[in-house]
Amino acid sequence: MTSWRILAALALLAAGCSGPSASDAGDGGDGIDGRDGDAGDDGGEPVVPAWDEPERSYRVRVVVRPHPDRDRVDLPVLAPLAHDGAFVGREVRVYEVTGGATAGPLSAGAWTQPDGREAEVGFTAAGPTAAGATREFLVYYEPTGAPPAWEWRAGAWGDFQALDDDGDTRTEAWRLSGGEYRLQRAVNPADGTLRRGRRAAGDAFLARAPGDWRAVNGFSDGYQLEDATHTWDPVGVEDVAPGATVTDRDATSAAVAATWAGRTAPVPHDLALTYRVFAGWPFVERVLAARPRDPAMTFFFSSGDWNGRHLYLADAYDRMVSDTRGDEPLEKVWDTGMRWLVVYDAASDRGLGWFLFHPGVIRAEQTADGVTIYDSYGYSAAGTAVFRSLWMADLDKDRIVDLFDAMAPGVEVSAPEFRDLNIAAPRDDDFFFPGDELGLTVTTPGNPEAVTAEAVLPDGTTLPLELERGATPLVWRSRTPLRLTEAHPPGAWTIAAHSAGRTAQVVVQFRLPQHPKLVFGPSDLPELRARKDRPGWNEIWTEMLAEAERYDDPIPDPGPDRDIRGYADRLMNLALIQLIDPSQPYDGKLWTYFFAMLRYPNWEEGAEPFNNFDLTVGHFLTALAVTYDWHYDRLTPAERAEVRARLRGVAGRWRSTSWMRTYRDIDWSHYGTVTNNHYWINHQGVAAAAFVLADEMPETERAAWVAQLEENLGILLSVLEDDGTSHEGVAYHSYGQINLFRWLDFRDCALGGNTATATPWFRESVLWDVYSVLPGGADNYGGVANFGDCPTAHYNSPRTIAAWLARRLGDGLAQWTAERLDNPRRTAWSYLWYDPAVSVVDRATLPTWRFFPRKGILAWRSSWDEDATYLSLKSGSYFGGHEQPDAGHFLLHRAGVPYITDHGYSYRKMSDEHNLLLVDGAGQRGEGTQWMAGIDPAYWASAELVLGDARYFDVRADPTPMMLSETLTGWTREIVGLGADLFFVHDEMRGTAPMHLDLLLHSYRSNPPSGSGLTYSYTERRTENPWLETGPGRWAIRPQDEAPVLHVGDASAAAWAATIEPSSYVPELDPDTREYNESGARFDVGYRLRRSLSASTAASTVTLWFGDDRSLDAWSDASAEAARVHRDGTDVAFVVWPTGAGVTDFHGIDATGAMAGRRLDEPAFFGRGLTAFSAGGDTLVLASAPIDVFARLEHAGTPAEPRFARVRAATDVAVSLRCPVAPTRVRIDGTDATFSHAGGLLALEVPAGEHRIDVE
């Protein structure tokens, strides 16, 4: 589905590592050209072609990369031209120098963007290029101080027209014609903006000759900007009229560009959208380029950009072919490694292709009005503010495929070569080690003068370098290369050459193997050591010491029966303690653990492998590599060799195991494989070995490890849920995260960048972590919403994980968790990751609800206080593994007490362990196994948050596709929450024949937390019954002795039979011994309410409420499912689900819509799909089209209790809402709105979408 090349295209930021630079990983001790120990002299004299264009001062070498398995003919070559501090003149000359022979000049063209930047050169590599062969060209150019002019030069080809069909002098479209294409963009004459989207009027198109076939009938372009600290909201190119439309033509190409100078949103910047056609090539180039107005600012197109740049295709297509996935049916796939995608019609073979110059995401989608092809995310911009792509239409899709495949290997462009003086070897950032010879090679292609040279060493001394002419007069070489020893000062050596008044210089590195470098460098140590005495860190330091004090010695031989994964955390804690403060008394324990783990006989998967073999190996590789890195100087040469052998041997072997498999053609069946903790932990271990051994093992071997790590990282990043969730549940999410984050630390510190910005998942996961934490009652940590294989709390420290996210993303919400969550545990990695400079954003600034659409999770709480009520529902995607078959399942907690519960970690995953529907005894897909299989997306469930508010929510789930029953045709679940104390659960089931239906609700008895920051525990009281039947269809749940009772009432029209029965499951751990439940024994845990009915169509309405003084009336009958809650006859609330389109005079209620309700003690009214609603003689809602609504307009508004409404509609709608007191001001989403008020009704127009209406 993707490629390692994704990471070359990520918009990565500096990771803050002050150890060896990213170049360390590239050269190392093997030198260049495979000559061990000599990075500066390849043993031969470089080939320096004569300078064929004396009037041009610079040239670059363009190498056409080889194609591994196909010959190519007449290959188009497009290459970027860049010159630091100058523009590139358009008068270029190109010569071919393949094989040493010079041919040319060739026909070539150069062009830029309208501002003179982003120069490109284009020419054809004429004739055949054999498979595996390269072609080499020299491009001569002259830098200029001013941008090259855009102008429509005289010529016999190409045309541009600004169209004004109605003669009103306002442009309605502009058209570029030339080569084999006509491209037209429609313009809104009223405001000058480009029109976006599919254009049925035919005023926007891309047409291909011959025959003027219109392949495209619409365009739209969007983008999202990001810098080191901000990701701004996406914007549309078409949102603002361009300031100018400019054109350009020469003998090779013609272009039109819409330009915007000083666009203000989201930050001041210039923008250009350019279309270019070519005289000799059958494609169109489209470039979208942004540049900040502030020269001190740097931004790029965000890798989190969902906005996309779209082509709307005029014809029908049913298949597609790409470089990464091959030929397949047309569908919207996710693949961050694509270079090109061609959609085509299988019957006619016509097609349209999209080519990227960097790996990215190209998608095709069949929509209601046709096929759309687009690129999304910023990957295809390769970390720049330039999107560049090619489009090609052809009646034979194979011609597109052949050309794009031929061009895909791309080109390499050398650094500019100056006519008079260049240092050919060594090169900038070459690395040297003791025993190497440093030799200098200088070229003077257009300069006959003598050359002198010297090296400036890191200690400031200058070392003359004596040169002599080489075999040709164009080359100068060291007379005697310098033999390097450990006595030479390590660091950057500046080598300068001088001739004819010119100076050239390079900087090379002489290295002694240097540690630490995995996470920080030597220069960071003083600051790290000082942290232990500073606020914030000193508390973490104290916790680290307390942890170390509790460690026993490692067992001599664990065998397969003892889980010692935790030794890795112990070793890293000890290693950091002794690194920070060598006077601490744990040095002996550090080395006891280190050598025990290093020398355990359980590293092979033989008769006595480690318990949790792959996880232990992944953890141990990491911990050993980290300790080796931090205490390298304390190991003897023999011990270092032993460590290197272990790391290299295991990591090298691990690459070929299933735990490191590369899923290049990944589909849904392996989404869970690459996003689970096993995959991440094993990759972390290999990454630790790969990066700690830089400069200490053959680079070709190590580079293969890194390439595999990079490719697999790209794949897993591509399938992470973009809403920040994890299929494994919160506990395993924390276990996976902390290991993934260390992997990314190693990776980013060695290679550069900040992978936390590579996908929205990282930033969104901060929110999922925050909203998954339960209110604790006595504190703010009550554990977690334990969907999936999840205990009551995190496996790994959420504060440590949040510290990484806060530091990497500058995220203040993560910082809140790192600093203020009442979870007591922090780790040694908190000491490294915590950054007090990140300002806290209190979670109380967030809404008290959030919907995570991919996983279909609603997390709602009544407030951010410790005594809040918390409800969460899940009904979405299913990757499998540690996931459970639980679509439609929900939980209810309050003030640290569980009421409606989940069993947690199950070794035999069954739907009947959840608060779900069973049909004829069967549950959902994936049940009955220890590890749930991934589910085909065609069978994923779905959920929708209709409306959310601090006092209200309406969420609907459709788990039907997940259900195993073939008789069931539909099951929807809707939960309506009215504040902290009242919830209605409404289920509707439909089938083709009578079904036996069981609806389940689980609860158990539990003990309160035994200390601050801990969670409830249910194992001790798991066999006790929290349920009490209080009357027909009425029950009470008391999970803890001092906790308030949750009342449960059945308000259904149908007579559901009810039973309270023990609930059992197969847990991971024996609840009595806390040992692994390897036998698969079943254990009771709590009790459940089973409500049963046999019917082909059924409905159920259950009410949950807190408050012993309240009662429930079941109003349900044939016309509606309805429930009324009252206090001594005084209405508290009611909700009605009409059976048909509505109800009339139903208990004084008239409603047209899907659901309607009212709360009277805290006045509010609400509903879904309403056009009319009245109750008790009050008209509450009138709407010209169906709306979803929650309104608090009937009370006297105060600053603490404002009057407002939330309204959602599919179309613009006229709405009237009950509002007894006439407003003086009404705002929709903060903007003043026109309204009227009469007869106690507020009337106004509400736009389509969801809006908040504030009333003063």
- Fold adopted by 848-974+988-1105: Beta-galactosidase; Chain A, domain 5 (2.70.98)
Q: How far is CA 1081 from each of CA 561, 885, 906, rounded to the nearest angstrom?
A: 19, 20, 11
CATH architecture of 162-396: Distorted Sandwich (2.70)
pLDDT value at residue 5: 25
- The rounded distance, in Å, linking the Cα atoms of 406 and 394 is 16
634-665 burial string, b = 16+ CB within 10 Å, else e? Answer: ebeeebbeebbebbbebbbebbeeebbbbbbe
Q: Side-chain half-sphere of 938: how many Cα atoms within 13 Å? A: 3
Distances from the Cα of 528 to the Cαs of 525, 539, 579, in angstroms?
A: 5, 14, 9
Write down the domain spans for the chain: 58-144, 162-396, 419-510, 522-759, 848-974+988-1105, 1109-1256
Q: What Å distances lie between residue 1034 and 14, 507, 975, 1101, CA to CA? A: 60, 81, 19, 12
The CATH code belonging to domain 1109-1256 is 2.60.220
Supply the pLDDT for residue 641.
81
pLDDT at position 608: 74
The CATH code that applies to domain 58-144 is 2.60.40.1180
| Cα dihedral 1089/1094/1097/1099 (nearest 10) | -20
Does residue 390 contact residue 284 with C-beta atoms inside 8 Å?
Answer: yes
DSSP letters spanning 1009-1046 = PSSTT---B-STTTTS--EEEEETTEEEE-SSTTSPPE
Residues 6+ apart with CB under 8 A from 232: 224, 225, 226, 266, 267, 302
> Which of the 8 DSSP states describes residue 1199?
S
From residue 1108, alpha-carbon distances to 1035, 1037, 1044, 1126 in Å are 12, 12, 9, 11
Q: Please list, residue by residue across 434-467, b when 16 or more beta carbons sit within 10 angstroms of its beta carbon and e when fewer do.
A: bebbbbbbbbbbbbeeebebbbbbeeeeeeebeb
pLDDT given at position 305: 62
Which residues does the chain have with pLDDT short of 50? Answer: 1-43
**CA–CA separation, 909 vs 905, rounded Å?**
9
pLDDT, tens only, 1157-1205: 999 999 999 999 999 999 999 999 999 999 999 999 999 899 999 999 9
Amino acid 807 reads R
Tens-digit pLDDT profile for residues 665-716: 789 989 999 999 999 999 999 999 999 999 877 777 889 899 999 999 999 9
Identical fold for domains 58-144 and 419-510, yes or no, is yes
What pairs with residue 944 in β-bridges?
Answer: 956
Contacts (Cβ under 8 Å, ≥6 apart) of 108: 92, 93, 94, 121, 122, 123, 139, 252
Burial of 372 (0-12, 13-18, 19+ CB in 10 A): buried
Contacts of 349 (CB under 8 A, 6+ apart): 395, 396, 397, 398
Task: Find where tokens 């389109």 sit.
Answer: 1141
In angstroms, rounded to a whole number, what is the distance separating the alpha carbons of residues 1242 and 1232?
14
Cβ atoms of 9 and 381 within 8 Å: the answer is yes
- Give the pLDDT confidence score for residue 1230 in this predicted structure: 96
HSE of 397, CA atoms in CB hemisphere, 13 A: 23
Beta bridge partners, 271, equal 260, 290
The answer to whether 245 touches 259, Cβ cutoff 8 Å, is yes
What is residue 553's three-state secondary structure? coil
Domain 522-759 class in CATH: mainly alpha
Token match 């954003």: residue? 841
pLDDT of residue 1064: 94
The rounded distance, in Å, linking the Cα atoms of 149 and 113 is 10
The residue type of 1219 is C
Looking at domain 419-510, what is its CATH homologous superfamily?
Immunoglobulins (2.60.40.10)
- For residue 399, the tally of other CB atoms under 10 A from its CB is 16
Q: What is the pLDDT of residue 605?
A: 61
- pLDDT of 800: 97
List the beta bridge partners of residue 248: 255
Chain centroid to CA 587: how far? 41
**Spatial separation of the C-alpha atoms in residues 590 and 368, rounded to whole Å:** 64
